[in-house]
Amino acid sequence: MSQEPENRPLSRDQVLRELEFLLTVEHALIVEYLSVCCALGHDLAAADGGPSTESGRDAAIAANALAAAQMLRAGRLVRALSGLRPTGAFDRARGIVGVTGTEISLEPPTREQLEHLLEREESIAAAVDARYALLGPAMVVGDLGEDAFSDDLRAAAADGATHANAVSVLRDSLADRPVADLLRATRRFGHTDAEKVLLRISDRTYALLLGALENFFGDLHGDSGGTFRVMALAAMDVMNDVNRALVHAGLLPPFQMPQF
């Protein structure tokens, strides 16, 4: 969404479209932080491919906590949006324009991007916070009317402008250690048949998870919502186990978007 002139406040439809885009960004950030956690060794022992230093382990734990927080953030946003309009599929943003005007890729990070982890995560967080901050003035009770947005949606949008503060824990955890020295898993392509099978299982589990979540949030008040919630939680557990196996082999989850 391009920034509107200051004398032309955003319309209700523009705000909702931007929040729908930001939901796809939140999805991308879940993938980002899970990738970082895996690259740093997940929760494995050092002998099994896990973090080899205390700062690496602290950063892996911090990245996993960021991913978990992002899941909650995305859930709050999609619930609030669904009260006003259909949310559609769980798409994932491929990029976002940074505060300097440069496009930042939101595809799963490459080894080179992981080696510049702090700069990347802080740039992404600043870009996301800036987009949310643009929405604040249009979401206060004013010309659009008190019922233009729900309190839950206003709260979700306000919470969305706190990414920079959240990722600061990564800098604290790394304590200025060169990130390249801490990376434990960086490959996204398998060398053996077993590795290729693991990567396929990872993508199939990711597709199952997204399908379950899409149907859960699409039927929050229906009879099938509970079934899809159980499926989503089970898929998350399987994905976590698969991620450990991938990291043990020096691999990163591919996170290929499914073609439903």
64 is in which domain, residue-wise? 12-185
In a domain, 104, yes or no: yes
Looking at the fold, whether 146 and 44 belong to one and the same domain comes out as yes
- Contact 127/95 with Cβ under 8 angstroms? no
pLDDT in tens, 45-64: 999 999 999 999 999 999 99
Looking at the fold, whether 113 and 163 belong to one and the same domain comes out as yes
pTM summary value: 0.92
Looking at the fold, whether 44 and 152 belong to one and the same domain comes out as yes
Compute the half-sphere exposure of residue 232: CA atoms within 13 Å on the CB side of its CA.
16
In a domain, 3, yes or no: no
Q: Tell which residue, 184, 173, 180, 182, has the closest CA to residue 244.
A: 184
Looking at the fold, whether 67 and 107 belong to one and the same domain comes out as yes
pLDDT in tens, the chain (260 residues): 444 434 567 888 999 999 999 999 999 999 999 999 999 999 999 999 999 999 999 999 999 999 999 999 999 999 899 877 766 567 999 999 998 899 999 999 999 999 999 999 999 999 999 999 999 888 876 655 557 788 899 999 999 999 999 999 999 998 778 899 999 999 999 999 999 999 999 999 999 999 999 888 877 666 666 888 899 999 999 999 999 999 999 999 999 998 75
In a domain, 1, yes or no: no
